[in-house]
Structure 1
Amino acid sequence: MLGIRFIKSQPTTYLIEYRAGKIVRSGTGLSFFYFAPTTTLVAIPAASRDESFIFQQVTSDFQSVTIQGQLAFRISDPTKTANMLNFALRADGRNYESDDPEKLRLRVLTAVEVLAQKSIKSITLKEALLASDQLAAEISTELGQHPEIQALGLEIQSVSVLAIKPTPETARALEAEAREAILRSSDDAIFVRRNAALENERVIRESELDTEVAVEQKKRTIRETQMEAEASIRRKKQELRDLEMDADIALEEKRKSFVAKNAENTKMLAEAEAHRVAAVMQALEKTDPRVVQALAAVGMQPAQLIAQAFVGIAEHADKIGQFNISPDLLQTLLNKPNVTEAGNGRAS
């Protein structure tokens, strides 16, 4: 009625009332009456907004990837936003006069795409597929410092990169490569396991050989000890034999000295006896043989005297004509010495 209207804004809507080109009032959650023909209302949503994005980029190795993510931002300075874009309401106070509010999200998403392109084109495909967190951090940092974002009075709350996907053909190729890598890893694991088994077997065999070597060395040590003991015993026996031989040599030397001394003594006795006999013979050379015979007969046995008598008869046989000896006389001569010996034995 008469152009006077009422408007009520939400707590998340920043409302600005312009009249004659000047701000009359502004703030969130305002409600008031205004005169429509002379008043311009600007409604700027101050609530946090979530915008999803998905676009394709090319990596440094010329591979296409699809980047999918989500952006959260809000208008922190509505005055700057109102100066950059037209958020004026129509006369009905419900709809915007232009499509600038829609351009706000497009500008933000364009800035995100430019920053994503800048980051993606400097890395390879494989690096890009693993760079979700890194890409989100870089976009969030650079977007908050972007001149256009600051001029629009926007605050970037969060940037999330949900997925970075290659084309289906590239994905299949990467899957095949990864599959081959997994198979190679499996083969390598089998090879390593077999090598480990062979190594363990070699270690066990070496341990057995070391044990055998140790046993043989122990046997060798025992044998050497036994041989040393035997050698020591043989040395002791040799020393005993040497001592016995030295004793025998010393004994033989003493025997040799004894024999030499005995021979010398015997020689001296023989020489003395020969000298005595020579002296006796020299004394007897001038004596009558019959006297010598008589002296020799002194102390002879009767049988010896009879034998000597027969010797004398035999020597003068040429002077005897006939000499008869009867058996009785001969028997008497032979028996008489026994009787005499018996008598002498009794007399003694």
Structure 2
Amino acid sequence: MFNNILTHFGLTPAQYTVQPFGSGLINHTWKISTDDGQPRYILQQINTAVFKQPEDIALNIGNLGAYLQKHSPNYLFAGALPDSNGTYLYVDDKKRYFRLFPFIARSHSVDMVHSPEQAFEAARQFARFTRLLSGFDTSLLKITIPQFHDLSLRYRQFTGALANGNKLRIRDASVLIDYLQQQRHLVETYEQVKKDPGFRVRVIHHDTKISNVLFDPQKKGLCVIDLDTVMPGYFISDVGDMMRTYLSPVSEEEKDFLQIQVREAFFTAIAQGYLGELSNELTPVEKQHFVYAGQFMIYMQALRFLTDHLNDDVYYGARYDGHNLIRAQNQAILLQQYNEKERSFNQIISTI
């Protein structure tokens, strides 16, 4: 398999070794190194179960890269490499889609946020990406995952699961269901966001986990990577995803709920990093909803996990019985703790 792919991109297979790379859960990724062990390229197979139209991803990244090359040529853009025909995808006889990236030397990524400094650098990079593309026509971007961060849709799916899901699981999760229903005002706020002209549609990454940022040896941010989910959207998607994944020292997989906490220093770091780059771009009403961004994303993920649990784990699957219920409870506790700090967080934003 690899010989044909490497040859397609103009590489001599005998001169390279291929090894699995990274911790991503969606696409398969490999590191391509020379005989002396030096990594040169990253090869990735696109998961077509998630991304139904891989050509749309290639088109998006190509258009974004061309825009940045013209308007911000010094920006380190982690785009795919073209083949000899100028196309960015290799499709094998099994209809599997592959693309090749340059390996960025002296860079590294991390899987968990361990310090406010990391949170600051990551937030700055995601904001910088959006800022540099502020003049890009978002209508040129293809939607690679339809309604990905549509909170109204996620709530409708939740109510559908309450009507048609596993009755035993619905009964056993009644306390959690009641709590999430009480937070429905967050959906109503999202409906207002969509109608408010003060909320601008921007180029948004949509997957701002810390592993999608490259750092240099001095632990400074270099650029953002994994651009498959870059689509038109609202800034609350990126900020909210950072709040959800950076504020707590543990992930949604944690079963010991006592370990879940919301760290104010990390919130401050995200706000300073993001607003330091985008403060002049965001409208007054967007800034007023900066804290809401965290509620928006944490709540949505809690809904999605519980919905899947009530539907017998048909979307995420489950590694053990009750896996998605644990995830949903985890996120609900995170949301509860976040809400308790809402006034404090708004004060932080006002000072910034």
Q: Which has the higher helix share?
A: 1
- The structure showing larger relative contact order (alpha-carbon pairs under 8 Å, at least 6 residues apart) is 2
Q: Which has the higher strand share?
A: 1
Q: TM-score range by the shorter chain?
A: under 0.3
Larger Rg over CA atoms: 1
- TM-score, normalising length: structure 2: 0.17
